[in-house]
Structure 1
């Protein structure tokens, strides 16, 4: 018997290709949610499938006690595509684990314990990650931590006052995903960078959901022109194969045993992540995310009926003044389109970066019909 597994819908995808899923009945669905922003280059991309199949026929796993040359290849390609060529890479298995290790690195570096996070943040479900998450639905009493302060998001004055010489780290999402697709302003991120420099605090950019090209830049904070001390990532990094990582600025010095992982950086995970980067580069998927995202935003604006439209690239939140559950259900069951939500009032779109204009138009036509019904 499974514990705490309650599928929202009695639909089981059994086949997938590109931006589409097929269920057990053979019905096709347009996937605009990508399994929580995980599917970055599209379902079952031929290059991705071939790479993992080939790797499975050779070796799928051995421990980090031996050399895994693909880890170095992955780090080099990630640095080149993201622009962070002088940053080191620590590989792990998930976004929560990446954030845990980033917080640990920060505390190792300056010896401090106090952390600043932000309202409506989501950083994961493990002990340290959930302690810096502002979501009472998942934060158990044991997870509350007197060392963590939550400040208002996008409030420069609050950040100036709340980040002090006692602050170990500031952890922030470039675009809040679960919190409602709230986009950090350039002014806000620049203020965080300045204040961390002034106080010696470590700036951690959680790019687990808003990274890997989704925003139209490799990392969404790159719109602001800042360089964080630590950048965490996962989700789209493996296109469905579990992998996470931390990009680490040169100010950090590694020592043996400081960080560790059993499964992180295994052969299959690295091969998946390398395939993702190769596809992103070859097919210009970051540019495509920007182009198709702009098309979607303009189309949604023309449809209207919303309270607020937020996002960048293919990370879009449409907030309505009514609960969106009915709208989401109508899109799913009447039009066979998967979308997500963020809270009760925001429809959340996180499709593959390979989404095509004509696929976006299928959604826009369906949304136009359904908004008129439910509004």
Structure 2
């Protein structure tokens, strides 16, 4: 049986990885500055992570959410400690799309409205409501398009209030730093204005931290740069370091009831241990401080390259914008220089999403390689 052909694939077959490096079946070593879409947070095959998952699977890998699971409670307590989000409760699922799907569903349950406001170039997943809130018509099937979603320009508070005043919007969902869309972000007045307008019109403010959460921006969550209190915070990607896990933090003004949300695999024993271990490593190795230091160094090095016209993002969620499409440059970095980077909806943007363990020597290697390929 062949695979359903939905991804264009580079002719590389990884077979092992360690920290910031990936090795293929020819034992070629690649510097990973993409982390599999910002998933690898504490480095590939971190020894503490491997040991924790191995120990857990040897005891109990999975049972349903119909029984007590202290590992979920331990993860929730760690999340409160790390994030400072003390007025929230945790629901665990399996992916970023599922997190956003549950966030939107919960918002609609909460205020009994059904329309969603999202923003141009936003990406929230590929499931039903999440993909309808994504600004990409190519991946929205007719069955998804029946969702009531309005896409606004990022930064337009006037249009937002006009839409909210109709009193039919259950949620405003927003990435404080856009991922797939190309690292665009608005300003403090906009994000704080969104928060105030949502409160004014009884609309849930959903902060999509699927890609930007778990320390990637230098703050635990990207929204924490601003004075806002989201009703729901969606998380995934870096929280499991490659083990499938997602979740939503739900403000206590939204009340739980049996059957409101549900999942078979969400928050299973292995997933909970994986995420708890990620948090422990982030703390023990002071990785959020490393994000800030390496980001500052990266930005200084980027200034040396005149072909870079703009630098977007924060922390280790960065984009280098050129005045030409980067598809060929990205291929050259992979096949000539053995460096993984990412692309975006913006064809001129090279995305940089490395493990949070990256060091200055890795940044130097990248910029040396970039200079070589730009001079060819």
If the TM-score is normalised by the length of the shorter chain, which range does it land in? over 0.9
CA contact (8 A) 2:132 2:147 kept: no
Q: Distance in 2 between matches of 1:235 and 1:76?
A: 19
Q: Is the Cα–Cα contact under 8 Å of residues 118 and 172 in structure 1 kept in the other structure?
A: yes
d(CA) in 1 for partners of 2:318, 2:164? 30
1:146 deviates by 5.5
Q: Partners of 1:364 and 1:158 in 2: how far apart?
A: 41
Deviation of the 1:301 alpha carbon? 2.0
* 1:188 Cα deviation after fit: 1.3
Matching residue of 2:123: 122
* Structure 2, gaps ≥5 residues long: none
Which residues in structure 2 correspond to 1:1-375 (within 5 Å)?
Answer: 1-145=2-146, 147-164=148-165, 165-343=167-345, 344-373=347-376
The Cα of 1:158 is off from its aligned counterpart by 2.6
- Asked if the contact 2:20–2:354 (Cα under 8 Å) also holds between the matched residues in 1, the reply is yes
For residues 204-242 of structure 1, what are the alpha-carbon distances to aligned partners after superposition, in whole Å with 9 as ceiling and x for unaligned? 000000111000100001011212110000000100000
User: What number of residue pairs does the alignment pair up?
Assistant: 373
Q: Normalization by structure 1: what TM-score? A: 0.97
Q: Structure 1, unaligned stretches of length 5 or more?
A: none
CA distance in 1, matches of 2:40, 2:205: 27
Please report the RMSD computed on the Cα atoms of aligned residues, expressed in angstroms: 1.2
User: SS of the counterpart of 1:171?
Assistant: strand
Deviations 1:225-267 (A, max 9, x none): 2121100000001000000000000101100110000000100
Structure 2 counterpart SS, 1:57: helix
Segments of 4+ moved more than 4 angstroms? none
Q: Residue 302 of structure 1 aligns to a residue in which SS?
A: coil
Report the Cα distance in structure 1 between the residues aligned to 2:248 and 2:304, rounded to whole angstroms.
39
Contact 1:151 1:162 survives alignment (8 Å): no
CA distance in 2, matches of 1:62, 1:70: 12
Q: 1:360 to 1:267 in 2, by over 3 A?
A: same
For residues 161 and 370 of structure 2, what CA distance do their matches in structure 1 show?
Answer: 41
CA distance in 1, matches of 2:283, 2:292: 14
* Rounded Cα–Cα distance in structure 1 between residues aligned with 2:259 and 2:292: 40
Q: TM-score, normalised by structure 2?
A: 0.97
Deviation at 1:275, TM superposition (A): 0.4
User: Does the CA-based 8 Å contact 2:90-2:250 persist in structure 1?
Assistant: yes
Once the 2 structures are TM-superposed, how far is the Cα of residue 371 of structure 1 from its aligned partner?
2.5
